[in-house]
């Protein structure tokens, strides 16, 4: 007998299952992919997500078992967590097709079971999905009514790939979109078992929680974009330093998601931001904020590209350190550094990349078009211009003498002075050139600045 069944053992689901198991909950995991199920039961499955392998591999088969048999999983557990994909569809919304399949499976399991069962959707969905599609589907498949024969909670995860364990064990807060208070209590107890310390709890209706989840990502992209806006201004103004400005602003606005650098990317932020605007358009609410963030993100990418093209003439060899969408992950989905590599190649620059985790993924996704070096030093040796695409921890161990007289464009201003003083030329994006502000304004605005201040 298990306590919790987890439907979907992908990047997020296996981490959730492992954290629950490590917290003493008996877990039965369900996946439609028998290969994953077999590898998990044989304890041979491994993931790059830190902390997961050791957590789940130390559990006995009584403590954590995987299966493709959803009816058994529901029969043997009290709570089912659904964490299957919600891919973007053609209109920019999220397809519920996998979640609906999982609802059918859980619903059929409930039909064959006696006693109450609680279902939680963890997947990211468009606001209204639980009320309009998921709860009715569970009711239809189970023959029960929500709040009577089963409980329902929308319970999204606030996690970052590469740090998912912390997102479950030390979350910023727990969000419960509960159809009834008893179901919310049940889910809260599941989270409290996993959490290392008391964390804030936000309880609300399912649709409010659905809005909260997706709005959280839009707010985060808004902050990233705001800092990126400051980066571009500061890159132009003599003597300006974006970090001094964001650090000062952080006293009023907080530090998180507030470092000027490259455009945001990855599997969640871009698509969640777009999906919020699509939802708002459908319901007739002005969607200019999420749309503008998305537009600005693209514009910022062009700004960074322009800066690098100015430093690397056609035919130049450009090395990019860090090709994944962020450090600590092999994922290249919507990765800005990878897009940059492809844009530079289209502009006749010769690109070579290096990434400690994402090299195979880059080769696969680009069908070998983006060349990858085996070591950072190899990448430096072959480059006239080196771009820091990600603030990788591994950069600290790199032998920068291999960069020779290359120009280093540091999009994150993360290299220490002992390195930056030795390379051919160091260009920290977000720090303006030396020189007089007054002369620069006169030259750049052709005297028009004075009209603005008259
Ligand atoms: N990846 C992230 O950083 C992140 C962050 C927050 C939220 N989310 C959300 O979490 C959800 C899952 O994301 P992921 O990255 O773990 O996906 P994933 O693609 O890595 O894994 C999904 C798993 O679900 C399985 N699956 C599909 N249909 C199933 C079914 N009917 N029954 C059982 N298993 C089924 C698949 O075989 C796969 O193993 C998505 O809605 C995503 O938006 C992801």
Just give the CATH number of 216-428: 3.40.50.720
Mean pLDDT, rounded, for 106-128: 97
Q: Whose CA is nearest to atom 39 of ligand 1?
A: 10
Nearest to 27 by CA among 77, 82, 84: 77
In sequence order, what DSSP letters do the residues of 260-300 get, joined into one string? --SPP-SSSHHHHHHHHHHHHHHHT---HHHHHHHHHHHHH
Cβ within 8 Å of residue 326, ≥6 positions away: 161, 162, 265, 266, 390
E strand spans, 309-357: 317-321, 350-354
Q: Ligand 1, residue 102: give the atom nearest the CA.
A: 31
> Tell me, what's the pLDDT at 1?
66
Give the domain 4-204 fold: Rossmann fold (3.40.50)
Q: Is 118 in the pocket of ligand 1 (CB under 6 A)?
A: no
**pLDDT tens-digit readout, 291-338:** 999 999 999 999 999 999 999 999 999 999 999 999 999 999 999 999
In the predicted model, is pLDDT for residue 151 greater than 70?
Answer: yes
Banded model confidence at residue 231, pLDDT cuts 50, 70, 90: very high
Q: Is 101 in the pocket of ligand 1 (CB under 6 A)?
A: yes
The alpha carbon of 360 and the centre of ligand 1 are apart by a number of angstroms equal to 22
Query: Cβ contacts of residue 166 below 8 Å, gap of 6+?
Result: none
Our answer on whether the CB atom of 171 is closer than 6 Å to any ligand 1 atom is: no
pLDDT, tens digit, for every residue of 58-69? 999 999 999 999
Per DSSP, the three-state class of 352 is strand
274-295 residue pLDDT tens:
999 999 999 999 999 999 999 9
Give strand pairing partners of 428: 410
CA distance linking residue 278 with residue 287, whole number of Å: 8
Residues whose CB is less than 8 angstroms from the CB of residue 178 and which lie 6 or more positions away in sequence, other chains included: 151, 152, 153, 184, 187, 203, 204, 205, 206
C-alpha of residue 10 to centroid of ligand 1, in Å: 5
The model scores a pTM over 0.85 = yes
Q: Is 8 in the pocket of ligand 1 (CB under 6 A)?
A: yes
Q: What percent of the chain has pLDDT over 90?
A: 98
Contact assessment for residue 50 and residue 14, using Cβ atoms and an 8 Å cutoff: no
CATH topology identical between 4-204 and 216-428: yes
Q: How far is CA 116 from CA 57, 71, 120, in A?
A: 31, 15, 14
- SS3 track for 410-426: ECCCCCCHHHHCCCCEE
Report pLDDT digits (tens) over 16-57. Answer: 999 999 999 999 999 999 999 999 999 999 998 999 999 999
Max CA pair span of the chain: 80
Q: Say how many Å lie between the CA of residue 84 and the centre of ligand 1.
A: 3
CA of 12 to the centre of ligand 1 (A): 6
CA of 448 to the centre of ligand 1 (A): 54
What are the Cα distances from residue 318, in Å, to 294, 373, 379? 27, 12, 9
Chain center to CA of 14 = 17
Annotate 364-393 with DSSP letters as a single string.
HHTTT-SEE-SSHHHHHHT-SEEEE-S--G
Is ligand 1 within 6 A of the CB of residue 9? yes
Cβ pair 102, 31 in contact under 8 A = no
The mean pLDDT value of the chain amounts to: 97
Residue 92, classified by CB atoms within 10 Å of its CB into exposed (0-12), middle (13-18) or buried (19+), is middle
* Ligand 1 and 304: CB distance under 6 A: no
Quote the pLDDT of residue 48: 87
- Residue 6 CA to ligand 1 center (angstroms) comes to 11
Q: Which helix (H) or strand (E) holds 29?
A: strand 27-30
Integer Cα distance of 228 and 210 in angstroms: 28
* Mean pLDDT, rounded, for 241-270: 97
Of ligand 1's atoms, which has the minimum distance to the CA of residue 13? 16
pLDDT in tens, 359-390: 999 999 999 999 999 999 999 999 999 999 99
Classify 30 as helix, strand or coil: strand
3-class secondary structure per residue, 161-194: CCCHHHHHHCCCCEEEEECCHHHHHHHHHHHHHH
Cβ 316 vs Cβ 349: under 8 Å:
yes
**Cα–Cα distance between 187 and 204 in angstroms, integer?**
13
Q: Which atom of ligand 1 is nearest to the CA of 101?
A: 31
Atom of ligand 1 nearest to the CA of 122: 10
Q: Would you give the DSSP letter of residue 402?
A: G
Euclidean distance between CA atoms 177 and 159, whole angstroms: 17
CB 351 within 8 A of CB 309: no
Instruction: Supply the residue whose CA is at minimum distance from atom 18 of ligand 1.
Output: 10
Assess whether the C-beta atom of 124 lies below 6 angstroms from ligand 1.
Answer: yes
447 pLDDT band (50/70/90 cuts)?
confident
Q: What is the 123 CA–ligand 1 centroid distance (Å)?
A: 7
Measured by CA distance, the residue closest to atom 3 of ligand 1 is 161
From CA 288, how far away is CA 214, in angstroms rounded? Answer: 15
Distance between Cα 15 and ligand 1 center (Å): 11
Name the pLDDT band for 2 (thresholds 50, 70, 90): confident
Judged against a pLDDT cut of 80, whether residue 15 lies above it is answered with yes
pLDDT band at 122 (very low <50, low <70, confident <90, very high): very high
Q: How far apart are CA 110 and CA 102, in angstroms?
A: 12
Atom 15 of ligand 1, nearest CA residue: 11
Q: How far is the CA of 454 from the centre of ligand 1 (A)?
A: 58
The encoded tokens of residue 266 equal: 């990855």
Enumerate the β-bridge partners of residue 30. Answer: 7, 67
Question: CB-hemisphere CA count at 13 Å for 276?
Answer: 26
| Residue 331 alpha carbon to ligand 1 centre in Å | 15
- 120 CA to middle of ligand 1, Å? 14
Q: Residue whose CA is closest, atom 38 of ligand 1?
A: 10
Dump strand ranges (E) for 257-390: 317-321, 350-354, 371-372, 385-388
Average pLDDT over residues 262-278: 97
Q: Is 85 in the pocket of ligand 1 (CB under 6 A)?
A: yes
**What are the pLDDT digits (tens) for 385-439?**
999 999 999 999 999 999 999 999 999 999 999 999 999 999 999 999 999 999 9
Q: What percent of the chain has pLDDT over 70?
A: 100
Asked if 183 and 152 touch (Cβ cutoff 8 Å), the reply is yes
Using a 6 Å cutoff on CB, does residue 157 contact ligand 1? yes
Domain assignments of the chain as residue spans, ordered by start: 4-204, 216-428
């Amino acid at each position: 007998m298990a306590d919790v069944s987890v439907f979907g053992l992908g990047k997020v689901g296996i981490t959730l299952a492992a954290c629950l198991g490590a917290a003493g909950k008996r877990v039965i995991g369900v996946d439609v992919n028998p290969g994953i199920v077999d590898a998990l039961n044989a304890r041979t499955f491994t993931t790059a997500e830190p902390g997961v392998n050791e957590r789940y591999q130390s559990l006995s088969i009584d403590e954590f078992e995987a299966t493709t048999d959803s009816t058994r999983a529901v029969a043997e557990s009290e709570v089912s967590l659904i964490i299957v994909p919600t891919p973007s569809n053609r209109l920019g919304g999220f397809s519920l097709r996998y979640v609906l399949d999982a609802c059918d499976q859980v619903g059929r399991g409930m039909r064959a079971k006696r006693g109450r069962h609680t279902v939680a959707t963890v997947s990211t969905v468009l606001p209204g999905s639980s009320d309009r599609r998921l709860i009715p589907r569970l009711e239809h498949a189970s023959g029960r009514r929500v709040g009577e024969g089963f409980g329902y909670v929308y319970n999204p995860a606030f996690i970052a790939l590469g740090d998912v364990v912390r997102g479950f064990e030390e979350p910023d807060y727990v969000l419960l979109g509960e159809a009834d208070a008893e179901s919310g209590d049940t889910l809260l107890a599941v989270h409290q078992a996993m959490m290392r310390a008391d964390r804030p709890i936000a309880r609300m209706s399912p649709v409010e929680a659905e809005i909260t989840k997706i709005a959280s990502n839009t707010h985060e992209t808004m902050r990233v974009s705001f800092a990126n806006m400051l980066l571009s201004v500061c890159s132009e103004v003599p003597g300006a330093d974006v970090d001094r400005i964001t650090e000062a602003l952080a006293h009023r606005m907080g530090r998180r998601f507030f470092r000027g650098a490259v455009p945001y990317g990855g599997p969640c932020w871009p698509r969640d931001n777009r999906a919020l605007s699509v939802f708002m358009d459908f319901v007739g609410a002005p969607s200019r904020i999420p749309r503008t963030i998305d537009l600005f993100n693209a514009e910022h990418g062009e700004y960074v590209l322009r800066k690098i093209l100015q430093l690397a003439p056609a035919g130049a060899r450009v090395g990019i350190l860090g090709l994944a969408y962020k450090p600590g992950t092999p994922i290249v989905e919507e990765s800005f550094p990878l897009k940059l590599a492809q844009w530079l190649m289209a502009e006749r620059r010769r690109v070579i990349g290096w990434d400690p985790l994402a090299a195979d993924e880059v080769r696969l996704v680009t069908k070998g078009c983006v060349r990858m070096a085996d070591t950072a030093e190899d990448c430096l040796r072959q480059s006239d211009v080196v771009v820091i695409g990600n603030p990788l921890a591994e950069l600290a161990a790199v032998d920068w003498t291999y960069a020779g007289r290359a120009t280093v464009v540091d999009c994150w201003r993360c290299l220490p002075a002992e390195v930056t003083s030795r390379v051919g030329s160091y260009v920290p994006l977000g720090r303006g050139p030396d020189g007089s502000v007054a002369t620069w304004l006169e030259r750049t605005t052709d005297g028009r600045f004075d009209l603005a201040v008259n």
